[in-house]
Amino acid sequence: MKTPYETEPLFHKNLIDNLYDGVYFVDTNRRITYWNRGSERITGHSASDMVGKYCNDNILDHVTDEGRHLCIEGCPLLDTIQDGQPREAEVHLRHAKGYRVPVVVRTSPLYNENHEIVGAVELFSNNQSLFKMQRRLAELEEDAFRDPLTGLGNRRLLEVKINSALLEYHQHQIPFGLLFLDIDHFKQVNDTYGHQTGDVILQNTAQNLTRHLRNTDICGRWGGEEFIGLLYNVNIQSLSSIAEKLRHMIASSSINVNGEKISVTASIGAALARETDTLESIIERADQLMYQSKQGGRDRVTVGA
């Protein structure tokens, strides 16, 4: 049975042939029945090479970012033929010369006069500029939530994550706790050894946090020499235990400046989330607990439910 395209007037053929985007038609067996000039330009494969071949011959080898080969498994064209639903996917096709081309593919069913599906059409466009823009937007978004000195999340990210944890706690009773950490006598370090050394101390502290918190936890720089750790699924005992571990790791670390070994300590406040907590209340409580550690002699953890 002919596809609708094969019975279209010459005007429509010329129109589709001269589209900038690639367009090709397949029948219900996924045999390619039409291949426009846009397809030739984007893929490097001529119509004479492609018409009569099958898309599951895997000539284009559509691959997703995750490495899934759609021509073999999860073919949008096949799914569209089977259920009549249009599809869209971002993939990387294999050019005739062997390199990969990022494209957006869109599939739609083809019907005969009895409204029976007799094939499908795939339209695809070179997506390189879009991919680059998306990557750049992702980088900018990441930069907006990252502290440039330590590489940790910044205050904005911490606020987002804590609000999300509060929502889960209020809706699903998933417990969490906050650690508010402040480096002891940090101004004295800066005044004595300079801001460059102070920066290294901050970076060292960030490394201790990321390496010794659990994979499920989040830490970030709140500002200055203050850091916050967001710990999921903890009780008062585990919150205290993790805080003590971090305190010890920071105190037992050191850096070398002109042959002199420099180490710092940290005062930590540890607060367990409450049902009535807001972003402001839990941070304020953890901060006040940290100040109790300062007042109690520094290099210690104060825990509060």
Check if the beta carbon of residue 277 is closer than 8 Å to that of residue 260: no
Q: Identify each DSSP E strand in the chain by its residue range.
A: 22-27, 32-35, 87-94, 100-111, 117-126, 176-183, 218-223, 226-232, 255-257, 260-262, 266-272, 301-304
- In angstroms, how far is CA 32 from the centroid of its own chain? 36
User: Which helix or strand (DSSP H or E) is residue 288 part of?
Assistant: helix 279-295
Residue 139's CB is within 10 A of a number of other CB atoms, namely 11
Tallying the residues shown for the chain, one arrives at: 305
- Which residues does the annotation mark as catalytic? 225
Cα–Cα distance measured from residue 49 to residue 4, given in angstroms and rounded to the nearest whole number: 22
CB 93 within 8 A of CB 71: no
CA–CA–CA angle 41, 47, 51 (5° rounding): 140
Pairing of strands 266-272, 260-262: unpaired
CA atoms within 13 A on the CB side of 69: 10
